[in-house]
Structure 1
Amino acid sequence: MDEQASGRSFLTNHARVLLAIARDTAARLRDLAAACRITERTVQGVMVDLEEGGYLSRERHGRRTRYALHLGGTLRHPAKAHLPVSGLLELIAFPDGEREGAVHPGSPSA
């Protein structure tokens, strides 16, 4: 049974948005929404949460926004608080180690 048919997912919207941004730090809100299969309004709320949590920051470049990920922290859940956020990205966003054009967890924007 697939995720859509069951209505369940192993990843939260927050994780999906973070992963989508890691793949493209210049993605538009509508692109993130499409990639995550959620509404733009939901993405907007998730972005606020991620920014307030210190996982990302935004910077305007003309009419576009670029995102910088801050992956030095750990996951929030008490049972997983020892695991780095960068590990989640390595495992899920780039399972084959291929990150061309994306954020590298050890890079300055990470």
Structure 2
Amino acid sequence: MTSTERSWTFLSNHGHVLVLVAREPGVLLSELSRRVGITERAARSILRDLESAGYLSRTRVGRRNRYEVHPDGPLRHPEESTAMVSDLLAIFPQ
């Protein structure tokens, strides 16, 4: 795939982070940011956004964080607000 073909995606970075954390609740911030293609600072900010909005919670396990996605929340955009996070996550295989 060329860089032109990868210039946009159907999900926002928030969506990518949510899907990845749902698949791998113990993912390291460095790995998360690498796989989504954003900085660690941006990944940390997105995780804070998702946590403060109630879409996930964070638990400290030793020196690492473990995340739990809360799939019963509605999607945020008015056009998709009748769908739940669980509907979005169901699209992507675990």
What CA distance in whole angstroms lies between the structure 1 residues aligned with 2:67 and 2:31?
14
Match of 2:44 in 1: 44
Equivalent pairs counted in the alignment come to 93
Cα displacement string for residues 7-47 of structure 1 (whole angstroms, at most 9, x for unaligned residues): 22211000000011011000010010111111111101100
TM-score, length-normalised on structure 1? 0.79
Identity, % of aligned positions: 41
Amino acid at match of 2:13: N
Query: CA 1:3/1:77 → structure 2, altered by over 3 Å: closer, same or farther?
Result: farther
2:67 match: secondary structure:
strand
Please give the secondary structure, in 2, of the residue aligned with 1:72: coil
Matches within 5 A, 1:76-87: 76-87=76-87
Listed as ranges, the gaps of 5+ residues in structure 2 are none
Counterpart for residue 104 of structure 1 = none
Aligned to 2:18: 18
TM-score norm. by structure 2 comes to 0.92
Match of 1:28 in 2: 28
Q: Structure 1's 37 and 80: CA in aligned 2 closer, same or farther, altered over 3 A?
A: same
**Equivalent-residue separation in structure 1 for 2:64 and 2:22 (angstroms):** 17
Q: Which residue of 2 aligns with 1:89?
A: 89
SS at match of 2:17: helix
Q: After the TM superposition, which segments of 4 or more aligned residues of structure 1 sit over 2 Å from their partners? A: none
Secondary structure of 1:57 counterpart:
strand
**Aligned pair in 2 of structure 1 residues 34, 52: CA closer, same or farther (>3 Å)?**
same
Instruction: Tell me, in whole angstroms, the C-alpha distance in 1 between the residues paired with 2:18 and 2:3.
Output: 20
1:105 corresponds in structure 2 to none
